[in-house]
């Protein structure tokens, strides 16, 4: 369904953010490897986590994980080390275009038995589970951190443990650090020294665990305040010392006029400042924030030069293309100086169209990053349902904050 989004009143609301899917998905994989049933509270109820949960208990030979990239990477590693289990992992047409060769090659080097069902280097995958020997592998650090995290989480189950030597540069390191933190939380020893990660053979020790709220989801509420330039929100469930890399948005949005105040049960964010004249930042460690900041800066009139965006082209869609294409509808012409970069010089062309329709490319973050534009002008969001991938209650929460929709939001 497409919806017309408008805005009718000042900004003030208490929002219960979704649980972190990054933490939820890692905790589920670790629990499955441990073979225990300790409770995990506040699990994310997004599509990606639901798909992962169902896959872990499925007895089907073919498992369709849809558009869930994290599930594809994590489950490839998990099933590769699952004794006496044979399955085929498949997904959407877009998933079949997302490369996975580096992870498969690494797993095969460690003793896994995996073959490609169709196109070499891409899903679907046929996996025959077996005990993995482990050992030492070298991996390029500028590939998806999910490959690295997938290998790390199954490492304790390998006969000889695992030593990963990462070849610089290493991107999205906070996601690797998050995996290390959670593995330690569940009782295993991880030695991390620079670009070398060593994990001996051992066993996870499960315990009751509560998943914290998602900092990536918080970014859209910061964006609303930055664009509206007034009001405040209380975002429930966020913590100050989070291992989520996207918590960096606190510092970044302080430069765009939004302040953060940490309280016992979450954070209060307030639009109380002016944006800087120009924003330059390397998103190598926070790629999922890129769309939020590109859109925010354009509509604030803040020129920017963002780097570290190489991984955006292999996400749910080619996010570089999608951003350039959709922002051009509003008169913003983005430059791509080189691979992994986006730049805007501050110029905007006049646009005659009164009601612009934003395509979402089956990408949840496209829908959520563009929705706050409704604080400036009515816009139409195509295929609104895509937000279920990470934030199923997004539209309902916007209703609480004064957004108005052409269709009833259930």
- Which distant-in-sequence residues (6+ apart) come within 8 Å of 123 by Cβ? 72, 89, 90, 91, 95, 96, 98, 100, 117
Tokens of 403: 């957004």
CB atoms within 10 A of CB 254: 14
- Which distant-in-sequence residues (6+ apart) come within 8 Å of 271 by Cβ? 11, 225, 226, 228, 229, 230, 231, 232, 257, 258
DSSP 306: E
Distance of CA 11 to the CA centre of its chain: 26
Q: Is 29:78 a contact under the CB 8 Å cutoff?
A: yes
Q: Tell me the Ramachandran region of residue 362: left when phi exceeds 0, alpha when psi lies from -120 to 50, beta otherwise.
A: left
- Which distant-in-sequence residues (6+ apart) come within 8 Å of 26 by Cβ? 74, 149, 153, 178, 179, 182
Tokens of 4: 């017309």
Q: Name the one residue in this structure whose structure tokens are 């307030």.
A: 270
Q: Catalytic residue, from 47, 50, 288, 397: name it.
A: 288
288 is catalytic: yes
Nearest to 180 by CA among 245, 226, 256, 96: 245
* Angle, CA of 291, 294 and 298, to the nearest 5°: 140
Backbone angles phi and psi of 262, in degrees to 5: -80, 130
DSSP string, 89-127: EE--TTGGGS--HHHHHHHHHTT-EEEESSSTTSS-EEE
Residue 378, CB half-sphere, CA atoms under 13 Å: how many? 10
Nearest to 94 by CA among 116, 72, 127: 72
Nearest to 242 by CA among 48, 22, 12, 14: 22
List, by residue number, the catalytic residues: 288
């Amino acid at each position: 369904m497409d919806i017309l989004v408008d805005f009718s009143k000042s900004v003030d609301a208490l929002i219960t953010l979704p649980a972190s899917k990054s933490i939820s998905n890692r905790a589920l994989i670790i629990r499955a490897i441990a073979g225990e049933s300790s409770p995990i509270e506040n699990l994310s109820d997004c599509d990606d986590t639901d798909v992962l949960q169902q896959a872990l208990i499925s007895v089907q030979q073919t498992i369709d994980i849809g558009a869930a990239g994290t599930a594809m990477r994590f489950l490839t590693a998990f099933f590769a080390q699952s004794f006496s289990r044979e399955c085929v992992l498949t997904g959407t047409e877009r998933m079949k275009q997302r490369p996975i060769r580096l992870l498969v090659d690494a797993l095969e080097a460690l003793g896994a038995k995996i073959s490609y069902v169709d196109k070499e280097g891409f899903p679907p995958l046929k996996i025959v589970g077996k005990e993995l020997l482990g050992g030492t592998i070298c991996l390029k650090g500028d590939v998806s951190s999910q490959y690295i995290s997938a290998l790390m989480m199954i490492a304790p189950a390998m006969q000889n443990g695992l030593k990963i030597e990462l070849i610089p540069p290493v991107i999205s390191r906070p996601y690797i650090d998050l995996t290390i933190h959670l593995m330690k939380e569940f009782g295993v020893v991880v030695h991390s020294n620079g670009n070398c990660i060593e994990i001996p053979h051992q066993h996870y020790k499960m315990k009751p665990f509560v998943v914290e709220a998602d900092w990536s989801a918080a970014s859209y509420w910061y964006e609303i305040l930055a664009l509206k330039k007034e009001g405040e929100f209380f975002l429930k469930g966020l913590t100050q010392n989070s291992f989520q890399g996207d918590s960096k948005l606190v510092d970044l949005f302080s430069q765009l006029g939004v302040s953060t105040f940490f309280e016992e049960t979450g954070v209060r964010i307030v639009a109380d400042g002016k944006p800087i004249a120009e924003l330059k930042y390397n998103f190598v460690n926070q790629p999922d924030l890129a769309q939020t900041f590109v859109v925010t800066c354009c509509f604030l009139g803040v020129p920017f030069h963002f780097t570290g965006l190489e991984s955006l082209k292999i996400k749910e869609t080619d996010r570089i293309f999608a951003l350039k294409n959709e922002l051009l509808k509003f008169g913003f012409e983005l430059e791509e100086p080189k691979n992994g970069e986006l730049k805007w010089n501050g110029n905007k062309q006049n646009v005659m169209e009164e009601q612009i329709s934003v395509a979402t490319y089956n990408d949840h973050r496209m829908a959520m990053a563009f929705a706050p534009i409704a604080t400036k002008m009515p816009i139409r969001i195509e295929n609104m349902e895509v937000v279920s991938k990470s934030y199923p209650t997004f539209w309902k929460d916007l209703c609480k904050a004064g957004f108005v929709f052409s269709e009833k939001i259930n």
